[in-house]
Amino acid sequence: MLGKPKAMALALILICSMQRAAWAAAPPNLKSNRIEISYVQPSNPAHQPIYEALQQRRVLERFKGYLSPLRLPRTLILKTAGCDGESNAWYEDSEHAVTVCYEYIHEVLRNAPEVTTAAGVTRQDAIIGPTIEVFLHEIGHAIFDLLKVPILGREEDAADHVASYLMLHLDKDIARQTVDGVAFMYAHEMQSESPGLKHFADVHGVSAQRFYNLLCLAYGQDPKLFADLVEKKYLPESRGEDCHFEYTQVDYAFRQLIHPYIDQAQVKKVQPKKLLRPARN
């Protein structure tokens, strides 16, 4: 007969293994090439140039190709749309759709500096980075939902981690460019964020935390490419010294939970890294 603690431990082990088995059972009908795209005609004429520029640069087609190796149980829709004045982006689980608002892209364009900043961020960095990031962050939410990925901690932090991890796996020059651009965006947001307690109650981290988290993962993944982040004190040394472990933790979670759903034959076919390379114009 088992003592009470032993019986409890056994019950816990059984529950844990049942949960693990439930998760380990992959969702049915997994297939690659399950992305559909839509540029929704804006009702606000001010968004027309953005609508046209996104199509001209084939932004959604690129993400469709980039995500084509992901084996999903159903179609995921990526769309750009007018959002009645709301500068935002989201994943809607009832529609299995990621929406990025023209208002959000408009804000990115408005905030991008005309001339290269003292920190070396170009106008192109400040546009490309946040544009790639917003899609990857929302795609992170979509992956969690569609693949039923278990999440420890806040989902918004986890979606940020997915976005950062994927950005850091682009070609090195693009990874650097996107990190610089997204860091610029967070730094810009920090200036306009009032320091009220309300911000800390939000489901998202405050901009300063998101800024440091991104820099830490970048430095943790490639301390040579991102050495200047610590040298120039954008990332405090006290945080930087353990960033390798923070990156390793995210890398482990991604490999365990998401990597098994990536069709490697399709990866070779489409070379996803190249697809998010900005057009030369």
Catalog residues that contact Zn ion under the rule CB under 5 A. 156, 159
What's the rounded Cα separation, in Å, for the pair 182 and 165?
A: 13
Element (H, E) at 246: helix 243-257
Indicate the residue among 159 and 235 with the shorter CB distance to Zn ion: 159
In terms of CB distance, is 51 or 212 closer to Zn ion? 212
Query: In angstroms, how far is the first alpha carbon of the chain from the final one?
Result: 75
What whole-number distance in Å separates Cα of residue 198 and Cα of residue 200? 5
Tell me which residue has its CB nearest to Zn ion.
159
Gap between the Cα atoms of 30 and 255, Å rounded: 18
Distance separating alpha carbons of residues 263 and 240, to the nearest angstrom:
34
Choice between 107 and 156, CB closer to Zn ion: 156
Which residue, 43, 95, 31, 117, is CA-closest to 67?
31
Of the two residues 145 and 156, which places its CB atom closer to Zn ion in the complex?
A: 156
**Pairing outcome for strands 76-81 and 97-101:** parallel
Q: Which of 178, 162, 169 is nearest to 250 (CA)?
A: 162
Residue 36 tokens, joined: 């559909």
Give the shortest CB-233-to-Zn ion separation in angstroms: 29
In angstroms, give the least distance from the CB of 104 to Zn ion.
12
CB of 89 to Zn ion, least distance (A): 8
Nearest distance, CB of residue 101 and Zn ion, angstroms = 14
With respect to Zn ion, which residue has the nearer C-beta, 101 or 159? 159
**What b/e readout covers 245-279, taking b as 16+ CB neighbours within 10 angstroms?**
ebbeebbebbeebbeebebeebeeebebbebbebe
Give 156 or 222: the residue with its C-beta nearer to Zn ion. Answer: 156
Nearest to 35 by CA among 223, 266, 207, 229: 266
Q: In the complex with Zn ion, which residue's Cβ is closer, 47 or 137?
A: 137
Smallest gap, in angstroms, from Cβ of residue 134 to Zn ion? 9
Give dist(CA 226, CA 214) in Å, integer: 11
Nearest residue (CB) to Zn ion, 64 versus 161:
161
Q: How far apart are CA 60 and CA 54, in angstroms?
A: 8
CB 91 → Zn ion: shortest distance, Å? 7
